[in-house]
Amino acid sequence: MKPPVSSRRSRGAAFTAASLLAVVAALVVLATLVVIPLLRVQQRSRLTLCQNNLQQVNRAVLQFAEDHSKTLPGPTADLAGELQWWYKEQVKGYAGLKGASSTNDTVFACPDDRGYTDPKPFYLTARFDFGSYVFNGVLMPGMPNVAGMNLASLVEPRRTLLVMEWTAHGPLSWHRSKTGKKNAPFYRDAESVLGFADGHVALTRIYYDGYNAAYTRDPIPGYDYRYSGN
C-alpha cells in the first residue's frame, strides 16, 4: 500500500533540505581550502614586492653616498620636510625617478602600507613625500641616527639601519600584524622590512620597551639591528 501523497512530499522535502545543507557545508569547506591559501599567496606576494622595493631604495641611498664622498643624506637648506621622509629628494634619481615626487613613485611604496594618523597610506600622502619608507635620520635631540655620516665610520654596517618601513618606528607590522588593520597599540617583536648599511634587506623583529617608540633607542641584546652608527 502506497503512503499518502502528503507523506511522500514531506519525506521528499526533508531529503531535499538535508541534501542542501550537505552541499552548503561542502562548499564552505571547499571555499576555505581554496580561499585561505590564496590569501596567503597574495600576502607573501605583497611582502616580496615591499622587500624588493626597499632593496632598490636602500641601494639608491648607498649609491648617493658613493657619489658624495661616502656621505649619507643629511639636512639641506632646501629640505621641504623632515629628513626621515624627505631624504627621498636626495636619492630618488638613483632609483630611476625624475621630476616632482608623486603617487607614481611606486618603488617607494609598500603595498601593505596603511598609513598612521592619515586615513590613507603614506605613499599616497604629499607631506610624507609619497613614500612608505623612512630614512634613519630622525633629527630630534638625543635620537640615534646616521644622518650625514660617512659610511666608513659606521661601526657595524650589517646591523646599522639605513631605510625601513615606517612601522619600525612604532613598532607595528604591516605584514604579520598582531593588531589587524589597527595602528595601536605598539608591541614588542613586531616585524618590519629593514634596509641595512651593508646593502641587505630583511624582515626583522623590532624591540619595544613598552613606553618609548622604537626609533628613540638601540635595542637590547638579541636583536639584529641598531639605529646608531657609532
Pairing of strands 161-165, 133-135: antiparallel
Pairing of strands 201-206, 161-165: unpaired
Which structural domain range is residue 142 located in?
54-216
pLDDT tens-digit series, residues 179-223: 999 999 999 999 999 999 999 999 999 999 999 999 999 999 999
pLDDT tens-digit series, residues 88-111: 999 999 999 999 999 999 999 999
Quick one: residue 90, left, alpha or beta (phi over 0 = left, psi -120 to 50 = alpha)? alpha
Q: What does the pLDDT read at residue 12?
A: 56
Rg (CA), the chain: 25
Within a domain: 206: yes
pLDDT tens-digit series, residues 131-141: 999 999 999 99
Q: If you average pLDDT over residues 107-130, what whole number do you get?
A: 96
Within a domain: 33: no
Within a domain: 115: yes
Within a domain: 15: no
Please report, for residues 15, 32, 138, 165, 207, the alpha-carbon distance to residue 222 in angstroms, rounded to integers and kept in the order given.
Answer: 62, 38, 23, 21, 9
Torsion angle of alpha carbons 211, 217, 220, 222, nearest 10°? 110
Within a domain: 228: no
Give the chain's domain count: 1
> 150 near 131, Cβ under 8 Å?
no
Q: What does the pLDDT read at residue 16?
A: 80
Whole-angstrom distance, CA of residue 188 vs CA of residue 54: 22
Reduced 3-state DSSP string for 53-75:
HHHHHHHHHHHHHHCCCCECCCC
| Closest CA relative to residue 50, chosen from 137, 176, 136 | 176
Within a domain: 199: yes
> 193 near 162, Cβ under 8 Å?
no
pLDDT tens-digit series, residues 5-16: 555 555 555 558
Q: What does the pLDDT read at residue 45?
A: 87
Residues of the chain with pLDDT > 90: what percent?
A: 79
Taking the model in full, what pTM does it have?
0.83
Within a domain: 35: no
Burial of 56 (0-12, 13-18, 19+ CB in 10 A): middle
Within a domain: 176: yes
